[in-house]
Structure 1
Amino acid sequence: MSDIALPRTADNSLLRGSSDGTRVQFEGIVKSYGRTPVLHGIDLDIAPGEFVSLLGPSGCGKTTLLRVLAGLEESDGGAVLLGGKDVSGIPTSKRDIGMVFQSYSLFPHLRVVDNTAFGLRRRKVATAAARRRALDALALVGLEAHADKYPHQLSGGQQQRVALARALVTEPRVLLLDEPLSALDAKVRVQLRDEIRRIQLRLGITTVFVTHDQEEALSVSDRIAVMDAGRIDQIGSPEELYLRPATAHVAAFVGLSSIVRGLADGTTVRVWGTELPLQTPATGEVDVLLRPENVRLVEAADAAVTASVEESMFLGSMRRTLVRTEDGALVRVQHTARIRPSFGDVVGIAVDAEPVAVRQVG
């Protein structure tokens, strides 16, 4: 399906009811399963109307934190606040939250419009009013023409749009998205990802998005909280995380990085004869994380280090070439598509003097 066009505000009850969003706060959230700690005192303040992604590898605690916010899990300590009110002891049904999960969880025996209106009917909204609001929600996701179909008559991307419409139709204060795109093919994922962001901006709804896909998080978020082992390593805008990672874990997880050895003196690190500024102080032998766009191909005769080409991938407007240095390090180089290295070519590489993240060796 192509990108949808949102309806006019005057024509849609959900758009007419858009707001500035609700503030969400996690204060010292602790959670364990048995003797296994999962969350270690999470503090996070999400502004009204903000789109925040929880990004991290499997098992880092991001989904558990989302479930604590939803009331599907009870924390062992700390508090969850919505609009300044502690909702830690309030059940899910009373928190006024919309949720979209990886699985569509649509009722196969109900038509699309009835699936969408399900939450309204449980709230005792009259049948005619519930249908009107459901059709408005379906218009937001471009599916009003499919209102009377059954789920099995829709594609996967369309079914996930229905799940999104169902979450929005009750006009919740907060929208929670738990890896909602991971079951879709690549093209549909990008389309639906962009549509979710446009709808979120139009509605002004505070949104928390769980994903392990850095591209998804970077493309739609106001801020990203990078999680590891039950803690938040860093929270910031996509640009801050990419350009100024606070830790080596963040630098390695957000964006592509190559790891090479360097010698640090506190404020700089020497790599291939070039002094690079450090993101954080370090001394002695370190692993340096280099972004591919900060590494250049140069003439082998003029280079401080040479390498052999392992592979070169055409990515449209650019190429990304993987080379192996004489000491065995694998380094990614991003460059113009007009340069086409071949396997086994000997090339020179150099690095731009941009700030880098490092981690101590040993």
Structure 2
Amino acid sequence: MRAFVLTGPREYAVREVPAPVAMPGEAVIDVERVGVCGTDVEFFTGEMAYLHQGHSSYPLRLGHEWAGVVSAVGDGADPAWIGRRVMGDTMIGDGTCRRCRRGNQHVCEKRQEVGIRDGRPGALAEQLAVPVSALHVLPDSVDSVLGALVEPGGNALRAAQAANAGPGDRVLVLGPGTIGLLVAMFVRAAGAEVHLLGVTPDSLAFARSLGFDHTWTERDLPELPFDAVIDASNAAHLPALALDAVQPSGRLVYIGLSGSPSTIDTRTLVLKDVTAIGVLSASPGLAATIEAYAKRVIDPRPLVGGTVGLDQVGAVLSGERPPGTGPGPKIHVVTSVFDATGHKNGAKPGETVDAVS
């Protein structure tokens, strides 16, 4: 099969690699659509911390925001999975440690991470293999565009829930990227007033096009009482700004990661009686995100600015915007297993798979 392989910092190729075989308890997925995210970019540049901590090494097969169709299962897996439209959890715990037994497999010390840590090749390929325990079925109302947005949506939903905001509350979201905008959508759906802080005029204009009228830069951020502040940025100085901006007895949610350490003054945290929460993974929020998409609680489709094939992934990771790309921050990749209309290549006449558009 064809797969995008990152061979070193800013070095890559689309290669023919062995197709995956379903081991016991696993499924093989025909990958339909994959999102490119900031973590992938950090691996591309060589800045990702896992590379320096020994969790990941080149060559790498990226891709952890995906949707596809089960084409095979291994021993011990229910054959009924075959043909189902699915997305998958990125975090795969060992299933035996104390954290896993307590339902926190996403922070298992020995966890695998699909497309991120060594041992679990990602979805920027025609196929991938994952345990069936990691799969989530996509209903008909959640097509592949939404399916590939479930993983970032799960992170955002958890951050929005951690803010615990509703009608009468005012929430500031730092960073109008994919995660920040998804967070803002979920917070707005909960009834709170949402403000967004960004840097570039284009990103703030796009946020306004989604109905978020309160958009600011650091220079013009008004001194308003924010009941919760959610940092979805990669700027090292913004966690401290978040603490300064939040109201006493408010809530801070940190979901963004910077390339260098951030610092906050814990004296301020204590004296303001603030609750601070960190969000690592989408895992506990995946099922609820699928349900939210199915019920149209939010519609994240406008966040997808463009769709490319495997051969264009390297250019996207290097920062290029494909011709014709819209203003949305997310780029999706469609593998050659499916054509541009959602038909599976090699399918019999009249046989279709969920449309990708």
Tell me the TM-score normalised to structure 1 length.
0.28
Tell me the TM-score normalised to structure 2 length.
0.28
More strand by share: 1
Larger radius of gyration: 1
